[in-house]
A and B are shown apart, each in its own frame.
Chain A
Amino acid sequence: MARLVPPGARELPALTALRLEVRAFLAEQVAAGAFVPHVDTWLTRWDRDFTRELGRRGWLGMVIPQRYGGQGRTFLERFVVTEELLVVGAPVAAHWIAERQIGPSLLRYGTEEQKQAFLPGISRGEVVFGIGMSEPDSGSDLASVRTRAERVDGGWRLTGTKVWTSGAHEADAFFALARSAPLDPAHRHAGLSQFIVDLRAPGVTIRPIISMGGDHHFNEVHLDGVLIPDDRVLGQVGEGWSQVTSELAHERSGPERVLSTFQLLAAAAQAMDDGRLPTDPGLGRHVARVAALHHMSFAVSTALENAEDADTAAAVVKVLGTTGEGDIADYVDTLTATGWALDEELDTLLHAAILQRPGFTLRGGTNEILRGVIARGLGLR
């Protein structure tokens, strides 16, 4: 079988030392009550103070060069830091998008001035970014975006609506994908461009979209003729599609596609040990899958660090990981009976996980789209 996923790699001692350093810091933070561990924190838990503290410790801007205020470290070093943050359920949403996507995109496509303007703030955890891709009529079919970018003197005017923009109400700026040339049905991926939008600029209106559990992390962002100066175009006009898709492997293969419900799994393990949940082999099954995905996700990060193509492998991680993190929520739910006194911690984690679960297999490319990507990797399309 053609290998869909690169072979496993060994975590060397320097990486493990970094892992243990981050782990020790986080254990202190939990003990001090600096945050309450939770599920799906990379989407739902904002804490700018915590984010800035990570910046002070050198755990943000990991792959940003030092001349732009970053740490100049590797994707693998970032990998172990993100794993440790996720497994303790730390509040990491404020820097997640910038750390994962915005920083690398700016490095690759940004002008020198843009790098100087944004990367130091991102690395300190002071500049918070969102990402504006989906629209009311554009979900999986991203090339169908209708937000228009019209050429004006000295820049562009953006008009349209972005939805599911996580944290827009807290963020300073976002990247918006917009159509800068009319749709050519024969070349649907042409004519798209990326813009760096100041979310406090005139013409930007942000409205909350309340999730079914009552949380507010999604937003609708209306852009009403928002003026984008020429120096806030990201990369090449008309190259938006290739710019967006070139970063997908990083977006899809990371530990956040596996570990969103890890705190619930850990609480369930404890509850079984304490006799508050029945001992059940399903726990071992889920732990095994998380462990295997930890190896697989690390292997994909290693390939990306070596600049190898990993689009199909990233899709494999995301299909398996997001399905599994949702299955953990459902699994723990099947072990619990209404009216049976659980501890409040497990209850809180379980309910949040169940309510967040539908999003796991939607965000970042639905699993149906990703199975198509995998089928293409197998030569079926």
Chain B
Amino acid sequence: MTDIRDLAAPTTPDPDLVAVLTDLFADYRATRATPTEVVDLDRGLWQRLEDLGLTRLTGTESAGGSGGGWVDAAALLGLAAAAAAPVPLAEHDVLGGWLLEAAGLPNDGGLRTVCRPDPSGVALNVTWARDASSVVALWEDRDQWRVADVPIDLVGVEERRNLAGEPSDTVEFDLDDLEAGIVVDHAIGEQFHLRGALARSAQVVGAMERVVDVVVAHVREREQFGRPIGSFQAVQHLVSDIACETALARAATDAAVARAAASDWTDPGMLFAVGVAKSCVGHAASVVVRGSHQALGAIGTTLEHELHTLTRPILARRSEYGSLQDWDETLTALASSAGHDRLWTLITTGRAKTQRAREPL
């Protein structure tokens, strides 16, 4: 297994990019409409992102992308999620766009979503399918992985919505369209699940960080018994626990993103690293969602309040690309096969076997 690491690869996002995104999403947050029970694609925002070259941030420049890496992409996903921005950045860019490039398929820039249809050609919970111009399908067929870019008018779309109120449709392909897909390397097929899981982790962490801000602002303003509720120790401890879990999820996610960026996903420790992120993020979500609604009181449960625009996607996304239980079981299998003597090696390198690699992240 190759293990080429770029030790000079940045572990933190480009500050100029972060500044642009912070302004952009602050502006979006300030001008958006009151929350509604269903969440639809914001084409105006999508166009602004496209004009800035952000909808194909991770695409190679020769393929019309911006040549960004995973560290920058994770920052974009996180900040967009913190603004509850209804745009398919994960589906269109880091998953769909990547698959098209990996398969050598052309990308006309039309909005893409992505899915893995089952052997009968059906895919469930395909986010934003109804809004896409075509659907990128990754299909496992007789020991081969194929990528097909299927125009939306050639697939059947049954409209459904996820817990966040976002389009999360059932898509049915014609098997001929899938069989006409381009055969890609096995590594592509195996990486897809990991890339999806890490993209979701980055989104959930970004949303949780915004939840912490919302909670802190609320408990400093809201007064009961003549003083801000944030001055009560019980509330301080509740908020502290939310912030700690969010910080742990951030540390786990950043570590996996840095490992992915430094090795372009070739590091054999990626399964463990992504699992750690997905596990820490998923368990943090329980604490953050429960605690934030407790801190906000009844107002936080109303449709007009921002909180549910964050907590609903947090819960919807933590179960995508593998449930929390699935990932904990994966980590359990890795840890138990590492055993007593190699558990620490697994934790520091992502691999339990003796390896030639000289440095863990």
> Which residues of A come within 8 Å of B, CB atoms?
1, 4-5, 7-13, 15-17, 19, 87, 262, 265-267, 269-270, 272-273, 279-285, 287-296, 299, 316, 319-320, 368, 371-372, 374-375, 378-381
CB nearest neighbor in B for A345 = B340
B343 lies within 8 A of A281 (CB)? no
Contact of A374 among B243, B258, B276, B328 (CB under 8 A): B243
A16 lies within 8 A of B358 (CB)? yes
Q: Which residues of A contact B290 (CB under 8 A)?
A: none
User: Known interface pairs A265-B343, A292-B276. Does A5 touch B250 (Cβ–Cβ under 8 Å)?
Assistant: yes
Q: Nearest 5 pairs between A and B by C-beta? A: A284-B331, A281-B328, A375-B236, A288-B279, A1-B209
User: Known interface pairs A5-B247, A19-B348. Does A13 touch B359 (Cβ–Cβ under 8 Å)?
Assistant: yes
Interface of A (DSSP majority class): helix
Q: Which residues of A contact B11 (CB under 8 A)?
A: 7-10
A379 lies within 8 A of B220 (CB)? yes
Contact of B343 among A266, A320, A380 (CB under 8 A): A266
User: Known interface pairs A371-B240, A375-B236, A380-B216. Does A285 touch B328 (Cβ–Cβ under 8 Å)?
Assistant: yes
Q: Can you name 10 A-B residue pairings with CB atoms under 8 Å? A: A1-B209, A8-B258, A266-B339, A266-B343, A273-B336, A273-B339, A279-B332, A284-B331, A285-B328, A299-B251
The contact size tier of chain B is 35 or more
Q: Does B19 contact A (CB under 8 A)?
A: no
Most buried by B among A262, A292, A319: A292
Contact of A285 among B12, B244, B279, B348 (CB under 8 A): B279
A282 lies within 8 A of B276 (CB)? no
Number of A-B contacts (CB under 8 A): 185
Interface of B (DSSP majority class): helix
B240 lies within 8 A of A375 (CB)? yes
A270 lies within 8 A of B340 (CB)? yes
Q: Does B213 contact A (CB under 8 A)?
A: yes
A306 CB to closest chain B CB (Å) equals 14
B267 CB to closest chain A CB (Å) equals 13
A270 to B212 Cα, complex, angstroms? 38
B344 lies within 8 A of A8 (CB)? no
Q: Which residues of B contact A287 (CB under 8 A)?
A: 276, 331-332, 334-335, 343, 346-347
User: Known interface pairs A287-B331, A372-B233. Does A1 touch B248 (Cβ–Cβ under 8 Å)?
Assistant: no
Contact of A269 among B216, B275, B335 (CB under 8 A): B335
B252 CB to closest chain A CB (Å) equals 4
Contact of A319 among B244, B262, B279, B344 (CB under 8 A): B244
Q: Which residues of A contact B327 (CB under 8 A)?
A: 284
